[in-house]
Amino acid sequence: MAVLAIHDLSCFSKSSLTVALPVMEALSVETAVLPTALLSTQTDGFDDIYIRDLSGDMTAIDGRFSSLGLRFDGIYSGFLASVEQIDIVSSIIDKYATLTLVDPVMGDDGKLYQTITEDHAAAMIRLARKADIITPNFTEASIIADIGPLPKKLDQRDIKDLVTVLRSLGPQKGAITSIPLSSGGLGNAAWDGDEIRLFQYEDIGVSYPGSGDLFASIVFALTVKGDSFFGSVLHATSIASIAIASAKAKGRDRRLGIELSPAIAEIRRRAL
């Protein structure tokens, strides 16, 4: 079993490929990579960041994959730096026609990231329509659904309405992460066909770059292995919460990204 992870690569700090690769390998999923950009560090909290766009390299590497006759049991895409890269990934999805998870990285805290233009967001929404599974955060889900202003905190009816719109776009499985709940705390709302389940967790007042990558990597790897989708989301929610709580307890600098050792240890403990 082998999958292809399409993400950026930060040389220092844990996010994107430096999270996806070790986590999915820990879950016994052979993982090939297609880097979208090379960064000196992840972008949240650091200044003077070196970034090299790898769009041309992506096309060349994918061409070599094709010439070798490589096949993948799944494709998982995360941060894409441009509309051109989104188009490249779209063609890869068409070519391999395999289980696909798109994490539509576009924004957080109610707004688009500075580097995301309206054209970029529109292209990412088109890519999400092709996915079997999507894992947007609450902000990204709101952007994709485009159903007008949502309450600052959602109840079950609000969540159902949001999921209904996302399902209508194409993805028959998915999870909206970091939803602020009217009942208190946060939740990940997952759907599989017509069924919707909410996985609640404590809001401990801190977030770390790479947390979403950790969540999506666990969901994707377990789903590829044949676990139930809701079971995969349950494990991902629990393990990501443990990693975040451990990082906070140790006073970890959030610029370093999510701490992986507690997550890997929990994966091994659960024998996933």
pLDDT in tens, 68-81: 999 999 999 999 99
Provide the percentage of residues in the chain whose pLDDT is more than 90: 90
Checking if the pLDDT of 43 tops 90, the result is no
For residue 56, give both structure tokens. Answer: 């041309």
Query: 123-146 burial by CB neighbour count: b if 16+ within 10 A, else e?
Result: bbbebbebbbbbbbbbbbbbbbbe
Cα distance between residue 262 and residue 24, in whole Å = 15
pLDDT in tens, 10-42: 999 999 999 999 999 999 999 999 999 999 999
Instruction: Please report the pLDDT score of residue 253 as a whole number.
Output: 96
Checking if the pLDDT of 113 tops 90, the result is no
Checking if the pLDDT of 96 tops 80, the result is yes
- Which three-class secondary structure string do you get for 4-73? EEEEEEEEECECCHHHHHHHHHHCCCEEEEEEEEEEEECCCCCCCCCEEECHHHHHHHHHHHHHCCCCCC
Checking if the pLDDT of 115 tops 90, the result is no
Checking if the pLDDT of 200 tops 90, the result is yes
Checking if the pLDDT of 270 tops 80, the result is yes
Instruction: Please report the pLDDT score of residue 148 as a whole number.
Output: 72
Instruction: Please report the pLDDT score of residue 110 as a whole number.
Output: 80
Provide the percentage of residues in the chain whose pLDDT is more than 70: 100
pLDDT in tens, 167-177: 999 999 999 99
Q: Give CA 18 to chain center in angstroms.
A: 13
Domains of the chain (ranges, CATH numbers):
2-269 (3.40.1190.20)
Q: Which helix (DSSP H) or strand (DSSP E) does residue 200 occupy?
A: strand 195-201
Which one is predicted more confidently, 99 or 147?
Answer: 99
pLDDT in tens, 130-167: 999 999 999 999 999 987 778 889 999 999 999 999 99
Phi-psi region of 167 (alpha: psi -120 to 50; beta: other; left: phi over 0): alpha
